[in-house]
Amino acid sequence: MFLRLFPLALATFAVGTDGFVIAGLLPAIAADLDVGVAAAGQLVTAFALTFAAAAPVLGAATAALDRRKALLAALTVFVIGNVATALAPTYEIALTSRILTAAGAGIITSTASSAGAAMVPPERRGRALATVMGGLVSASALGLPIGTLIGGADWRITMWVVAGVGVVAAIGIAVRLPALSLPVPSLRDRVAYLVRPWVLVTLAPTVAAMAGTYILYTYIGVALEGATGGSAALLTIVLLLWGLGAVAGNTLVGRLTDRFDATTVLAWSIAAAVVLLAVSPLVVASLPAALAWGALWGVATGFPTVAQQHRLVTRAPEATPILLGLNSSAVYAGIALGGALGGIAQTWLTPAQLGLPGAAVMVVALGFVLAGSRLSGAAPVASAQQ
């Protein structure tokens, strides 16, 4: 199964590396483009907001294409956007190029996920989704720390490397992925699902959980300066442990959601994230503590996306492409919200204290999960479904 899904995982790896790596490069980008760190952080917000808004529209526009052609078109736009970012002489041009990049990325994640889910029987859907999304999560383990280390010399080199990963992903898609056509949902169909109460209730935790995470994560390089002393190498080590934890969490959640109630898995992972974010101001100034904390936080952040995908697809498998596309939009809407809130919060908090508002938003996410499970008639923390 892995070999069949590998090109899809590589495509999400390219998107994940691109989306994650900016957080580790913010100080260098801010200095080079002559803006503040909070302003540089809005490159993350602009990317995520564009992704969230463009994904359903562009997904509808490319729905008639088989999944291979749609992915190749999206990866082309993605690569061009990253090249433009690498060459950007000003903050304004960099911001515009991030918007272009997000337009391509907005199609890749949901298209790859829906293709992966369609290529396996229902009883292996959780593991298939975890494999495809494993590329996205693996980017945090490999793409983010390596990109941050490279960016210690020149952040623009990192963007060239990301563009190269996109090219390799496109080659893999062209060579390995068979032509695969899925039902063609229109933009009206997508909007129709978006206004269904159960869909809104299910997507709410995605937005809140990602926002809670990215309030701190967007500015993680600055937040960890007390522990790393500004060293790119030490920051890379912390981010590597975070990423490895996220990979472990992603691998575990695929198996857990195939065996247990996905809402239970989601609730416990968000509860763990609340605790880890709440204690973050106490640990980010010490390197040993930051290393252990980063790995644990990574495990918690590796859970929600796959658990949410599983909840949506299980509820309405006939609408898999629509629902996964909406969930991808919700993910990046949460990232945009978190980046913006993190920038605003720095008017009264230091970057090292951003875990506190992050924990508060995570509590809201947990409330959404528990309230939604009661509305749907499912126990919020249920026993195993064998």
CB contact at 8 A, 5 and 131: yes
User: C-alpha distances in angstroms, 194 versus 174, 223, 270, 327, 336?
Assistant: 32, 36, 23, 10, 19
Selection from 237, 309, 228 nearest residue 266 by Cα: 309
Predicted pLDDT of residue 295: 93
Gyration radius (Cα) of the chain, Å = 19
Kindly report the CA angle at 133 between 130 and 135, in degrees rounded to 5? 115
- CATH placement of domain 2-375: 1.20.1250.20
Residue with structure tokens 């992915």? Answer: 71
Query: What is the average pLDDT score of the chain?
Result: 82
* d(C-alpha 41, C-alpha 380), whole Å: 35
* d(C-alpha 40, C-alpha 23), whole Å: 9
What is the torsion angle, in degrees rounded to the nearest 10, for the CA atoms of residue 221, residue 224, residue 227 and residue 228? 0
* d(C-alpha 241, C-alpha 98), whole Å: 27
Predicted pLDDT of residue 123: 65
Q: DSSP letters of 285-345?
A: TSHHHHHHHHHHHHHHHTSHHHHHHHHHHHH-GGGHHHHHHHHHHHHHHHHHHHHHHHHHH
What is the torsion angle, in degrees rounded to the nearest 10, for the CA atoms of residue 52, residue 333, residue 207 and residue 325? 10
Predicted pLDDT of residue 384: 35
Q: Which backbone phi and psi does 349 adopt, to 5 degrees?
A: -125, 155
Predicted pLDDT of residue 264: 83
pLDDT along the chain (386 residues), means of 10: 74 83 82 87 84 76 76 92 94 94 85 72 69 73 74 84 88 78 63 77 90 90 88 85 85 77 85 95 92 92 81 76 78 85 90 94 92 56 36
Predicted pLDDT of residue 381: 39
What residue ranges in the chain does DSSP mark as E strands?
none
Provide the total of helices (H) and of strands (E) in the chain, helices listed first.
17, 0
Residue 379 CA, chain-centre distance (Å), reads 27
Predicted pLDDT of residue 275: 96
Q: Report the amino acid identity of residue 358.
A: G
As a residue count, the chain comes to: 386
CB contact at 8 A, 182 and 321: yes
Query: What is the three-class DSSP state of 261?
Result: coil
CB contact at 8 A, 39 and 76: no
Predicted pLDDT of residue 379: 39
pLDDT single digits (tens) 9-26: 888 888 888 877 887 788
Predicted pLDDT of residue 243: 83
* d(C-alpha 331, C-alpha 220), whole Å: 19
Q: Is 92 exposed, middle or buried (0-12, 13-18, 19+ CB in 10 A)?
A: exposed
